[in-house]
Amino acid sequence: MKLLLISNSTNAGEGYLEHAFPHIKSFLGSKQAEILFIPYAAVTFSYDEYEKKVSQKFIEGGYQIKSIHHFTDPVAAIKKAEVIAIGGGNTWKLLKMIRENKLIEPVREKVFSGTPYIGWSAGANVACPTIRTTNDMPITEPDSFEAFCLIPFQINPHYLDVNPEGFAGETREQRIREFIELNPGIYVAGLREGTMLLIEGKNVKLIGPKSARIFIKNAEPFEAGNNDDLSFLLQKNI
């Protein structure tokens, strides 16, 4: 299993996927594969526009992007995919379209058989068992919150340590503590901007300039860095 799960697509002051692309190229290697892109998280722009935006970046590495919305049979497209990439946007809409197109099991089968998977933001969320640790507003309703379950833990992309000045509502940490209170035994990895998780087989490595914040019920949240062994995240604790 090979996964690259990225917190965000754009760092402040940088271009689209600029911070992540060196790691994407390292992840994919020199193979000039065609990448099957899933744009379903797009809401205020078209799938064609999303495909073009992603293609403009990936072509820098010699990779070709083909969006799944061009295929009359999305399941067949997944079965033939050399690489699967899923972009950010609204996680609820993304999962709704994934489930309506019956892609859960086909993607699981492909990834567990070795097909590389790249997901950023919402695309990282749907690699988890559910999307219940997304930050997005539920603008639409999938028939279930259950996602691909490629990993047994949850990710909270765009993790923030504090709220904006003058805002007195719940912090991100408080919201995640609510999740683990009702979902004991499930780790949550808070991925800060500019970071990502590389998962190869049973190995999990954090990449990026910031640490990740790890949550599990009945323990204090703790920081994990680039030199830490994060393989424990793949172990179920129920």
The reply to whether 143 belongs to the active site is no
Q: Could you tell me how far CA 168 lies from the centroid of its own chain?
A: 29
CA distance 40 to 16: 18
Catalytic one among 55, 158, 211, 228? 158
In 3D space, the residue among 10, 8, 21, 23 whose CA is nearest the CA of residue 198 turns out to be 23
The reply to whether 46 belongs to the active site is no
Q: Which two tokens stand for residue 230?
A: 């994060």
The reply to whether 73 belongs to the active site is no
CA distance 57 to 73: 26
Residues 36 and 149: beta-carbon distance below 8 Å: no
CA distance 65 to 162: 37
CA distance 99 to 137: 18
Catalytic one among 7, 9, 67, 121? 121
Q: Is 85 helix (H, G, I), strand (E, B) or coil?
A: strand
Residues 117 and 111: beta-carbon distance below 8 Å: yes
Residues 148 and 104: beta-carbon distance below 8 Å: yes
Catalytic one among 136, 143, 161, 228? 136
In 3D space, the residue among 135, 127, 178 whose CA is nearest the CA of residue 154 turns out to be 127
- Positions marked active-site: 121, 136, 158
